[in-house]
């Protein structure tokens, strides 16, 4: 499919998703029983909060899954075994990670939030410190501290990541990539960053590879490694496989090891939208920026594209398809579209294919401004988050499953 055709199909889906159901079926006023079963609704109904939470818990058993460690490798093995159990054919990407020289940051924070430890726009309101916890003693749980004790070789070394593919029945040569990163850091369990995204991708792989489910186009479910070191796993995938797109191998076989990319959808931190931190008095009597303990009433799923990318127009249209899918199929939380996809694993793809990222907050402003105090911290634990938090992640899964099912032409056998 040519890029112009991809744009046209995305536009048609975005338009259709904005119509009422009666207009989409072509039978206004017809009884509900007369309408054909909606395969997208059937698929979305198979998402379950309990299963989503269980997958996050299983990933948390490996601690923060820091790249280059044994716990990271065991987590990759477990993910691959689960994908295989769903009937999704797996493969691995092998690459060499070369660590960049480490830069010291102030003790108050820094990391991706900025050298001062105060991330985000100064015009966006109250900001809280951000940074990466490098102190194991800040983790009070001795078992978890011991689990996360091993650290990677500071120079880097060989790395792996796993993906699996649902092969399209009519257009196996075309593909949507649905992805998240499985590595984390901070001496916690990396439950939100990014077991929440990894579990989402794995649940979609389970549902779309179930018996009786077909898709016209292929879908690849990718779990990147080395996101926390600078998107190295996703970049390695692009470097190794970009030139292989759409090539039939062997010729005449109808098999496409790397189908042509139609869209890339990344999921990175899905659960914590508690709002801007507001001043509160701590135990020492000092006023400090403190996020609410409850999910804010305005919580939503953020769908972002990168406004200055070469695929910005097509990426924006893809984002609106996802917004339409959320409107029709998500159960609890709405979605918002924004133009700042920065610093996530869709970045290496964004000039090559329409690319978007789903997450809990706006990356460049809200996350960078300290809206999530558990980001890269020992408190990123399964027990930290409430059912309302997990439900936000499930609504992101509903949004992506519905949109990708429409785009890929999913059908469910009667």
| Phi–psi pair at 299, nearest 5 degrees | -55, 140
> CATH number for the domain including 248?
3.40.630.10
The beta-strand segments (E) located in 114-212 are 156-166, 171-181
What pLDDT, in 10s, does the model give residues 216-232?
999 999 999 999 999 99
* More confident site: 290 or 154: 154
Q: Tell whether the model's pLDDT for residue 8 goes beyond 60.
A: no
User: pLDDT-derived band of residue 34, with 50, 70 and 90 as boundaries?
Assistant: low
Classify residue 28: in a domain, yes or no. Answer: no
| Cis preceding linkage at 53, omega within 30 | no
The beta-strand segments (E) located in 132-272 are 156-166, 171-181, 213-215, 217-224, 260-267
Classify residue 31: in a domain, yes or no. Answer: no
**Residue 268: HSE in the Cβ half-sphere, 13 Å Cα cutoff:** 27
Q: Tell whether the model's pLDDT for residue 404 goes beyond 90.
A: yes
CB burial readout 311-344, b (16+ within 10 A) else e: bbebbbbbbbbbbbbbebbbeebebeebbbbbbb
Domain count, the chain: 1
Q: Tell whether the model's pLDDT for residue 211 goes beyond 90.
A: yes
Give residue 378's domain range: 3-13+36-280+289-412
Cα–Cα distance between 159 and 350 in angstroms, integer? 23
Q: Tell whether the model's pLDDT for residue 23 goes beyond 50.
A: no
Q: Tell whether the model's pLDDT for residue 53 goes beyond 80.
A: yes
Q: What confidence score (pLDDT) does residue 6 get?
A: 55
Classify residue 405: in a domain, yes or no. Answer: yes
Classify residue 30: in a domain, yes or no. Answer: no
| Residue range 199-220: mean pLDDT, rounded | 98
Q: What confidence score (pLDDT) does residue 111 get?
A: 35
H/E run at residue 203: helix 196-208
Classify residue 20: in a domain, yes or no. Answer: no
In Å, what is the CA distance from 372 to each residue of 14, 130, 283, 353?
31, 9, 20, 30
Classify residue 329: in a domain, yes or no. Answer: yes
User: pLDDT-derived band of residue 104, with 50, 70 and 90 as boundaries?
Assistant: very low
Cα–Cα distance between 65 and 88 in angstroms, integer? 23
Classify residue 21: in a domain, yes or no. Answer: no
DSSP state of 371: S
Classify residue 96: in a domain, yes or no. Answer: yes
């Amino acid at each position: 499919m040519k890029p112009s055709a991809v744009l046209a199909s995305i536009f048609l889906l975005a338009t259709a998703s904005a119509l009422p159901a009666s207009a989409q079926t072509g039978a206004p006023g017809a009884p509900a029983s007369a309408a054909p079963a909606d395969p997208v609704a059937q698929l979305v109904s198979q998402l379950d909060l309990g299963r989503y939470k269980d997958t996050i818990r299983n990933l948390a058993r490996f601690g923060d899954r820091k790249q280059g460690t044994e716990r990271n490798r065991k987590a990759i093995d477990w993910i691959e075994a689960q994908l295989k159990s769903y009937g999704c054919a797996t493969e691995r990407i092998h690459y060499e990670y070369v660590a960049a020289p480490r830069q010291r940051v102030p003790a108050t924070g820094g990391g991706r939030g900025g050298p001062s430890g105060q991330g985000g726009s100064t015009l966006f309101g109250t900001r809280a410190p951000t940074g990466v916890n490098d102190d194991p003693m800040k983790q009070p749980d001795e078992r978890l501290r011991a689990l996360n004790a091993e650290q990677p070789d500071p120079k880097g070394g060989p790395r792996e990541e796993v993906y699996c593919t649902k092969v399209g029945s009519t257009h196996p040569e075309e593909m949507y990539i649905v992805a998240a990163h499985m590595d984390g850091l901070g001496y916690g369990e990396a439950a939100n960053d990014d077991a929440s995204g990894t579990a989402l991708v794995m649940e979609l792989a389970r549902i779309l590879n179930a018996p009786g489910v077909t898709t016209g186009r292929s879908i690849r479910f990718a779990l990147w490694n080395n996101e926390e070191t600078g998107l190295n796993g996703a970049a390695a995938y692009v470097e190794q496989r970009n030139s292989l797109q759409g090539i039939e191998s062997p010729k005449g076989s109808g098999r496409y090891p790397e189908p042509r990319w139609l869209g890339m959808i990344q999921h990175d931190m899905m659960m914590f939208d508690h709002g801007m931190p507001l001043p509160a008095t701590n135990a020492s009597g000092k006023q400090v920026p403190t996020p609410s303990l409850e999910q804010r009433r305005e919580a939503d799923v953020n769908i972002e594209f990168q406004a200055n990318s070469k695929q910005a127009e097509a990426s924006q249209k893809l984002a609106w398809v996802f917004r339409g899918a959320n409107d029709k199929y998500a159960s609890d939380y709405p979605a918002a579209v924004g133009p700042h996809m920065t610093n996530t694993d869709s970045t290496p793809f964004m000039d090559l294919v329409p690319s978007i990222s789903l997450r809990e907050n706006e990356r460049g402003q809200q996350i960078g401004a300290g809206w999530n105090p558990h980001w890269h911290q020992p408190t990123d634990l399964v027990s930290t988050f409430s059912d309302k938090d997990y439900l936000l992640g499930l609504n992101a899964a509903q949004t992506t499953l519905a949109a990708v099912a429409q785009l890929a032409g999913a059908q469910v056998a009667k």
